[in-house]
Amino acid sequence: MQQVNSSTVRHLRRAASLKLMEMTAGGTWAECAKTLGTLRGSVVSTFHVLGRTMPGKLWKEFEAGVERIAAELDSNPNRVNYARRRQSIATWRMPAPDWPGLCDGIPKLGHLARQEPHLATGLVWAEVTQSEHLNCSFLTSPALGGRDRKQLADQIAQFLTPAHQKAGRLELRRRLDLYAVRLAVQCDSAPPGSFGQGTSTAQLTRAQSARYETQRMSS
- Alpha-carbon distances of 89 from 143, 200, 218, rounded to whole Å: 17, 11, 25
At residue 198, the pLDDT reads 55
Confidence of residue 179 (pLDDT cuts 50, 70, 90): very high
Exposure class string for 172-204: b at 16+ Cβ within 10 A, else e: bbebbeebbbbbbbbbeeeeeeebeeebebeeb
How does pLDDT run across 198-211, given as a tens digit for each residue?
566 654 434 444 44
How does pLDDT run across 78-105, given as a tens digit for each residue?
889 988 898 889 889 999 889 988 998 8
At residue 193, the pLDDT reads 56
At residue 195, the pLDDT reads 61
At residue 146, the pLDDT reads 75
At residue 183, the pLDDT reads 93
At residue 169, the pLDDT reads 84
* CB 6 within 8 Å of CB 49: no
No. of helices (H) and no. of strands (E), the chain: 10, 0
How does pLDDT run across 23-66, given as a tens digit for each residue?
988 888 888 888 888 888 888 899 888 888 887 788 889 999 99
At residue 200, the pLDDT reads 64
Q: Count of CB atoms within 10 A of residue 101's CB?
A: 11
At residue 201, the pLDDT reads 60
* CB 159 within 8 Å of CB 121: no
Confidence of residue 147 (pLDDT cuts 50, 70, 90): confident
At residue 209, the pLDDT reads 43
* CB 43 within 8 Å of CB 25: no
At residue 182, the pLDDT reads 92
**pLDDT(197) > 60:** no
Cα separation, 29 vs 16, in Å, equals: 11
Cα separation, 69 vs 67, in Å, equals: 5
Q: What is the pTM of this model?
A: 0.78
Q: How far is CA 119 from the centre of its chain?
A: 13
**Average pLDDT of the chain to the nearest whole number:** 82
Which sequence spans correspond to the domains of the chain?
A: 6-75, 82-218
More confident residue, 110 or 8: 8
* CB 131 within 8 Å of CB 82: yes
* DSSP letters spanning 77-119: TT---HHHHHHHTTT----TTHHHHHHTT-TT-GGGGGS-THH
Torsion angle (degrees, nearest 10) of CA 49, 136, 72, 58 = 0
How does pLDDT run across 64-74, given as a tens digit for each residue?
999 999 999 99
At residue 212, the pLDDT reads 43
127 Cβ contact partners less than 8 Å away, ≥ 6 residues apart: 176, 177, 180, 184
The radius of gyration of the chain's CA atoms, rounded to the nearest angstrom, is 18
Closest alpha carbon to 19 in 41, 54, 47 = 47
Q: How many residues does the chain have?
A: 219
